[in-house]
Structure 1
Amino acid sequence: MDKVLSFHQGRLPLLISMPHAGLGLTQAVREGLVDQAQSLPDTDWHIPRLYDFARELGASVVAAEYSRFVIDLNRPDDDKPLYAGATTGLYPATLFEGEPLFKHGKEPSADERKAYLEQIWRPYHETIQRELARLREAFGYALLWDAHSIRSLIPHLFDGKLPDFNLGTFNGASCDAELAERLQGACAEAQGYSHVLNGRFKGGHITRHYGNPAEHIHAVQLELAQSTYMEEVEPFAYREDLAQPTQAVLRALLETLLAWGRERYGK
């Protein structure tokens, strides 16, 4: 495999994970995709650009290089479903609209997918594990922000239009309740934006697996409606006029996260 992730080590007790921002494809996946999947429509588009202030803020950042069409880094390695109803798995077989992802008989082989698990999925999760362990040892706690985005209208996955900011804490299991309340407050102060806590998106594998308040690791997923910062149709253009005010809200959320940690743990 080529480079499977990018990682930047910061100076604060915060790790930002971007598991669905990658655009890389293996040869088998590229050759097998149906025509409507060639543009990678289910990507979390422009997430590294949207969070380009995070390094200056002092956060550590890990981002995927390969597309979720190769392997989904936010699913468990045993591929157990995380949501009731329509969803996608460790090795996605459908687009978000429910249509087949691969041409008939052109899916990657079992051996190829085993290689994706070992050479793409595992390094990403080993990076998260190491960095959270380092942060907890250095600060006494660690904060994990799992950064996602999605089209605001996908009838196959959810009814109606998605709220702008969709916070997920696995129904309160992945982070302290007071922290979740403060994040909701920060969203409520952002005029012109809607938000929800533990709505359609409660947090995927990363949030659920690593968030452990009893061990002083607090994890939150944000599923951001793409209508807040980009065009949701091809060519999926970044909209600076939309993105700038949205970035201000994102910064406020991360600063709220960090301020809570300093108050709770003293550093």
Structure 2
Amino acid sequence: MASPSPDASFAILGPTPPIGPVVVSVPHGGRAYPPAMLDMLRVPLSALIGLEDRLIDRVAIAARRDETMLVQHSPRAWIDLNRHEDERDPVIDLGARVPARPSTKLRSGLGLVPRRVAGHGDIWTRRFSDAEIRARITADHRPYHAALHRCLAEARARFGIAILLDLHSMPPLGSPGTGAQVVLGDRHGSTAASQYVRRVETMIRARGVAVTRNAPYAGGHVVERHGDPRRDIHAIQLELDRSLYLDAALESPGDGFDATVALVRVVVDTLTAAALGDGPASALPLAAE
């Protein structure tokens, strides 16, 4: 993997500038836990798997051909790239300001630096200073978003359009066979022209996979920050049920790994064909879902 600098917390795979209109982001697949975390943990290190989009980076890398792809190495527990840098939790962050209207995620302990992990409770043995959190923002959060912004701008400059596919995974929704296995998020039509989301949705459904849009995941900070359909930069969040590609314990690759890789590949191909075939979509009305 090629990194933007030797000490970067993420890798950029593929060419820059991109040679296609689709750029892939994988912000929650990191498993490189900093040694500095160990003395801060109230829970076993293994408990933090619950915050990972477990092995989604392996799916993404296996599906990649020549697309430009950003893959975060630092774990979500260290800092969450899918949160605004102001979503700081005052319970654990001495430099945080109490927001007038905290988000649901922040109230539940899943802010910029997560406070809790499902099934285990509080993560940290102590609170963090303002300087500690700012250091993580400076070292990890801002460089990733700056690189993603640059890649999308370069793709748009070359093709007149750029599409960001922000790849995530989710716990199973309900009992097997009862819930959607894929959720597409476009912030209710605000981060991507509906024609691109519809095309992916139709393709996934035609392959016999249950898919829904914006429920229960409408897309997070990554697509909200980088999607700008009126400038022909479109951003779609793709959530995959972990049982599609992991084993029964949801920890290691399962029997469906190759099929899930193929599904992601078709999603990228579908978006690429739509972008190159349709060209700029700035004249199209945005969906009002």
Report the TM-score, using the length of structure 1 for normalisation. 0.87
Checking the alignment, whether the CA contact within 8 Å between 1:164 and 1:228 is kept in structure 2 is yes
In structure 1, what is the Cα distance between the partners aligned to 2:256 and 2:163? 27
Partner of 2:121: 99
Paired residues in the alignment total 256
Cα root mean square deviation, aligned: 2.5
Partner of 2:142: 122
- Which of 251, 256, 269 lines up with 1:242 in the alignment? 256
Task: Flag structure 1 segments of 5+ consecutive residues without an equivalent.
Answer: 155-159
In structure 2, what is the Cα distance between the partners aligned to 1:255 and 1:170? 22
Checking the alignment, whether the CA contact within 8 Å between 1:32 and 1:107 is kept in structure 2 is no
Partner of 1:48: 57
Question: Within 5 A, what are the aligned runs for 1:114-263?
Answer: 114-152=134-172, 163-191=180-208, 193-231=209-247, 233=249, 236-239=251-254, 241-263=255-277
The structure-2 alpha-carbon separation of the partners of 1:162 and 1:30, relative to structure 1 and needing over 3 Å to count, comes to farther
Checking the alignment, whether the CA contact within 8 Å between 1:23 and 1:40 is kept in structure 2 is no
Output one character per residue of 1:20-67: Cα deviation in whole Å (capped at 9) or x when no partner. 1111233442221223453422211222221224442x2100011100
The structural deviation recorded for 1:229 is 0.3
- Opposite residue 230 of structure 1, the aligned amino acid is L
User: 1:4 aligned to 2:9?
Assistant: yes
Output one character per residue of 1:155-183: Cα deviation in whole Å (capped at 9) or x when no partner. xxxxx975211110000111111111111
Output one character per residue of 1:97-142: Cα deviation in whole Å (capped at 9) or x when no partner. 4711223xx2443221110000110110110011111111111111
**SS at structure 1 position matched to 2:150:** helix
- Opposite residue 88 of structure 1, the aligned amino acid is L
The structure-2 alpha-carbon separation of the partners of 1:101 and 1:153, relative to structure 1 and needing over 3 Å to count, comes to farther
**SS at structure 1 position matched to 2:168:** strand
- Opposite residue 130 of structure 1, the aligned amino acid is R
**SS at structure 1 position matched to 2:142:** helix
Provide the identity percentage. Answer: 27
Checking the alignment, whether the CA contact within 8 Å between 1:29 and 1:108 is kept in structure 2 is no
Partner of 2:76: 68
Partner of 2:93: none
Task: Flag structure 2 segments of 5+ consecutive residues without an equivalent.
Answer: 1-5, 88-101, 281-289
**SS at structure 2 position matched to 1:173:** coil
